[in-house]
Every structure is written in structure tokens, then in C-alpha cells.
Amino acid sequence: MTSMTSRGSGSWLSLPGSWLAVGALLGAIVLAPVAAHGQATKAPAASAGWTASDCESCHDKAVGGGYAKTAHAQADQSCASCHSDVAEHYKAMSDGKDGPKPTLKGVKPATLNEKCLTCHEKGNQESFNASMHSRRNVSCVSCHSIHSAKSQTAQLKTKNDAETCYSCHKAERAKMNRTSHHPVREGKMACSSCHNVHEGNRPKMLKAESINDLCYTCHTEKRGPFVFEHAPVREDCVSCHDAHGSNHPRMVTQKQPTLCWNCHLTGSGHFGAGDNYSTEKGQPTAPAGAPSGYPTANSRLIGRGCTKCHLNIHGSNSPSGAYFIR
């Protein structure tokens, strides 16, 4: 019997990979600014003037309507904060000439993102540069619309965040339509209930340090710690559950008892004659002369299978709960 607390495995820095990581990281920190010498980030140009009211005579569709109700329109921001060469564009247009076009179409995602992060690199966006979305060149305007947002909040291109996410993550959309699901399609939850799509620090862009910590946010009763704990439960909720949806009760990834058989499969003496549920004894009626308590189809009871008896499978606080039966 071993335990982390008794192993005395010492400092986490004893792991070679940790030293490698720290060393490489420090090296990169020292070298990168050197490599980037002379390419310091320029502060945004001063943006005196060129507010929505200056531009709306031509661009009324862009700066009127929904845009007028956004924080961008209300805050002390101007068109020139995001669009470049606005003055030159105005002068050229006034003179009836072709001038620079301040459109952001065709601008690289990294450049676009940088414009947005000038103001928004804080709060939820603090680690966006390290996020998978950023690193794969997904731009802010892939999801957000500055001028014609359709959502009530967050200026999204669709009515809600789930629709925005589904535009790429279609497998998740399909899962949300399964019989066992979180109330996303009912509008009671959103993808952003669990994920921060700007997140670069936490795994899977979650809003917590780990999958389990995230699940505990709502399912606080599962948090424990318990007197008796079920190791895979404590390690990773998605060992058994698919939070995006499933066709099995309680969003488990496979039908019980099949789910439990992924680990607990070989004969354990659990079933008297050494046989397994639902194979040799998975019959609806006890045979004539069978002993009292003969395991029958009730082992498949109400979709719960093993948890019919192992009911406190997430952990037990009972002194007789070693097998999660109390």
C-alpha cells in the first residue's frame, strides 16, 4: 500500500523534465528580446478625432445600429484606434481620389489580435497570446463582430456563444443534441460556463485549474475530500463522463456496466461462481433451484448497473464505504 503522502518523493524540482522546462524557459526569456531587438511594440498612434460621429456620414451602417449601443461606441474610443490611415483616407475621399483604405480585411490575425489586446489584454484575456486559439492564428474577429454583433453580450457574430463555438466545433454541437446533456441547448448554460476561450494557462481553456476543479464549481458535493476515494474519480471526471453530452444516463461515456468494465473486468470472485454479470448470468429469470440472491437481469437496473450497489461511487464518508456501498 503506497500513498503520495507517505512516499516522500521530495521536491517537484527533482523531476528532470522540470529542470529542462525551467532551463529552457529561462533561456528563451533571455534570448527572445535580443532576437527581437529593434522590433519593439509601437504604442498605438494618438487617435485624436475620427470618432464614430466623424465617420458616420459615409459609414452609417458600420457605426450606427448595433454598434452605437456597444461599449466601443460609448467609451472614449475612436475609429482611428483600430483603423489606420483614417485621416489620409478622409482627405483622399474628400478630394475624390483613391486613397488608403482603412479596412482591416486581409490583416493578419496576429496583427488584428494585437490591436484588440492593446486595450483588452487583461481580465479573461490576460493569457490569450498563449492560448491555442491565438497560437493557431484564430483572430478576435473570427468570433466577435465590432460593428454588427448579434449576441446580447460579448459582441459575438451569432446569437449566443454556443453557436459561435459550433461553427468550428461541430462534434460538440452533435453531442449537445444527445439525450444526456448539460442544459446548453435549453439556454441555461453556455460554452463559456466552463471554457474561457481566451485562456492560455489552464488545460482545455477551462475556467479552473483542472477538469475536476471546474466540475466541482457546480457539483460541489463531489468535491470531498472523502474518507474513501475512488482514484479515477479524483483524477479526472472525464474518465467516465463526457461533459459535452452522451446517450447514456448521467453523461457517462459508455452504458453501464460496460463503463465500469473498462477497468473492473476480470473475475474477482465477486459473483460467487466466478462468473460475470450479463454474460453467464445476465438472464431475466433465476433458474430453477438457484440460490437466493442469484444475480439476474437486475444487475442492469435502471441504467445504473454497478452503481446500483456501489452507489457512492464518487467517494464515501461512511466507515463501511471502502467499496462505496454505503
Partner 1 sequence: MRNRYMISAALLVLASASVADAQQKAAAPAKAPALEQAWELGFRSTTTTGDEARYQRYQDLTSGLSSKIWLGKETGVAAYDFSAANIGYDDQSYAVKYNKFGSLKLSAEFTGQPLNYAFNTLTPYKYAGNNKWTLDAATRTRVQNKEVGIVGIGTNAATNVASIFRGLATTFPMSAQRDMLDLGMKYRVNSFAGVDVAFKTTKKTGNQPWGAAFAFNDAQEIPMALDNRTNEFTAGLEINKPKYGMIRAEYQGSFYKTEFATMEWDNPLRATDYDNGKLPPLGPWDASGYSNGNGPAFGRMAMAPSNQMNTFRVFGLYKMPGHTTLNGHLAFTKMTQDEDVIPFTSNAKIANAATYPFFPGLAALPRSTANATVNGLNAVINFATRPTDYFAFDMKYRFNDHENVTPHWNGEYNVRFDAVPEYVPGTLTHGQSIRQNTMEAGATFSLPNRGTALKFGYIMDDTKRGGRAFSDMTDYTFRASLDAYQNQYFTLRGILESTRRIGSGLSIEHIEEGGGQHELRFYDEADMDRIKSSLLLTLTPTSKFDVNLSLSSLDDEYNGEGHEFGLLSMTNTSMNLAGNFYANDKVTLGAMFGVDKFKSMQESRNANPFSAVVGAYESWNDPNRNWSLDNEETVKTAGVWVDLIKALPKTDVRFSFNYSDSDNGFTYGGPRIAQFLAPDNVALRTVGDTRACATGITSCFIPQPNVTNTWTQMKVDIKHMFRPAMGLGLGYQYEKLDITDFATTNLADGSPRMDPLGAITTGYGNRPYTGGTLIARLIYMF
Residues 253-282 within binding reach of partner 1 (CB under 8 A): 253-256, 258, 261-270, 272-276, 278-282
CA angle 249, 251, 255 (to 5 degrees): 55
Q: Segment contacting partner 1 (CB under 8 A): 21-29, 51-59, 85-93, 94-102? A: 21-29
Applying CB under 8 A, the span of 52-60, 86-94, 168-176, 190-198 interacting with partner 1 comes to 168-176
Total residues interacting with partner 1, rule: CB under 8 A: 160
| CA atoms of 322 and 317, how far apart (whole Å) | 9
Q: 3-class DSSP state for residue 132?
A: helix
* Residues composing the chain: 326
Nearer to partner 1, 95 or 297 (CB): 297
How far, in Å, CA of 79 to CA of 49, rounded? 8
Whose Cβ is closer to partner 1: residue 42's or residue 97's?
42
Q: C-alpha cell of 186?
A: 435549453
**CA proximity to 124, closest of 109, 106, 110, 144:** 144
174 interacts with partner 1 by CB under 8 A: yes
Rg, the chain, Cα only = 29
Answer yes or no whether residue 60 interacts with partner 1 by CB under 8 A: no
Among 8, 40, 57, 97, binds partner 1 (CB under 8 A): 40
Could you tell me which of 262, 255, 260, 233 has the C-alpha nearest to residue 180? 255
**Contact between 45 and partner 1 (CB under 8 A)?**
no
Cell digits of residue 260: 465500469
Give the binding range for partner 1 (CB under 8 A) out of 51-59, 80-88, 91-99, 104-112. Answer: 104-112
Judged by CB under 8 A, does residue 103 bind partner 1?
no
Q: Which of 50/166 has CB closer to partner 1?
A: 166
Q: Is 193 in the site for partner 1 (CB under 8 A)?
A: no
> Do the beta carbons of residue 189 and residue 117 sit within 8 Å?
no
If the CB atoms of residues 15 and 58 are measured against partner 1, the closer one turns out to be 15
